[in-house]
Amino acid sequence: MPYANPFLIKTLTAVALSASLAFAGSAAAQELPDTMTWSSYDVGSAGYAEASAIADAFGREYGTRVRIQPSGSAIGRLQPLLSGRADYAFLATETFFAAEGIHDFSTRRWGPQDLRAVAGRPSSFGIFTAADANIETLEDLKGVRFAYVAGNPSINVKCDAFLAFAGLSRDDVEAIMFPTYASTMSSLARGEADASCTTTTPSHVYELAESPRGIRWLEVPKENEEGWKRLREVAPFFQPYTETVGAGISKENPVDILAYRYPVLTVRADMDEDAVYNYIKALDETYDMYKDATAVMHRWDLKEAGTPAIDVPFHAGAIRYLEEKGIWTEEHQAWNDQRTARLNALLDAWPEALAAAENKSDEEFAQIWEKHRTQALESVK
């Protein structure tokens, strides 16, 4: 999960707080609420910095006062949204996990959550290798030392999706679990692994690029339809992306990898359509006020941030505005319909799994839910 400049965070936080105290302008002009609460990643994260910049723009343009509620855990970010204590949430891949009823959300207390996306800026993600490991394609990963992060499904699921593209699984590599994200990403420079996956700009990948081993990013060919089909069975929120920024990457040396969305601006499915419409309209109309707040905030342009693929279906209010702007296409609607069918199948399967697991242990329930989940997904292929 990417982190922003500490000085920028401090500045944006102060600005957002001042905006929340100074009620200027007319919220009614844009039909936004007078006050809103958003949840996000911790203070210090890119998600918090970006939410703060957008909150500042809303405050200055419409007088809307925004309280940002940060949390370091997936459940801590989602719980306020699901309980109605937060109106919007700036989330990461836990959006997908919650909708799928997996990882933290596979317990009886949770299950699949009916969520919708408003928008989400692209954030690239790729498999990187040590240049001296002579790994040139995804297929070459078979049998190599692959670094995973213990207890971090957000990273590991993405790595598994890359392997699936090549017709491989975790069983086909020498999977090595490292205790922290930092130790995983730096393991290649230490000579303890030969490949892993992450975004293109963490300090660890720059260190590898400057080390004697060097760095290589593995291409994900856009035209490989079978590979993309396998990949999206693991992670349907990925899309092709040509990255020009990162360790060993430039405009002169681009790489075709993947994009997911972070942050994913998320709401409950039952959020009022007009409220979401007004929100995304405000997000669009204040774009020039926040687009330079960080190096990547220009990617909130709705031509990028308002299109599939993304972790969950788009909300109807967002789609209405995107249609008016000429951004939403028939292909986008087809993707949204398919993604909605997948989510609905999981929502229907959950009560059946609960009933089948009555008086069963948690371990038995996990097996029962996995069986029902697999059957639900097979039904919508």
The answer to whether the beta carbons of residues 125 and 198 sit under 8 Å apart is yes
What average pLDDT does the chain have? 91
The answer to whether the beta carbons of residues 255 and 242 sit under 8 Å apart is yes
Coil, strand or helix at 90 = strand
Among 336, 332, 316, 322, smallest CA distance to 276 is for 316
More confident residue, 19 or 185: 185
CA triple 181-186-191, angle to 5 deg: 135
Percent of the chain residues topping a pLDDT of 90: 80
Is 11 exposed, middle or buried, given 0-12, 13-18 or 19+ CB atoms closer than 10 A? middle
Range 88-109 average pLDDT:
94
Q: Residue 71: enclosing H or E segment and its boundaries? A: none
Partners of residue 45 on adjacent β-strands? 3
Coil, strand or helix at 198 = strand
Among 157, 153, 86, smallest CA distance to 115 is for 86
Query: Quick one: pLDDT at residue 201?
Result: 84
Residue 1 has pLDDT above 50, yes or no: no
Stated pTM of the model: 0.80
pLDDT-based confidence at residue 19 (cuts at 50, 70, 90): very low
- Give the integer Cα–Cα distance in Å for 10 and 14: 6
pLDDT-based confidence at residue 73 (cuts at 50, 70, 90): confident
Structure tokens at 181: 């994200």
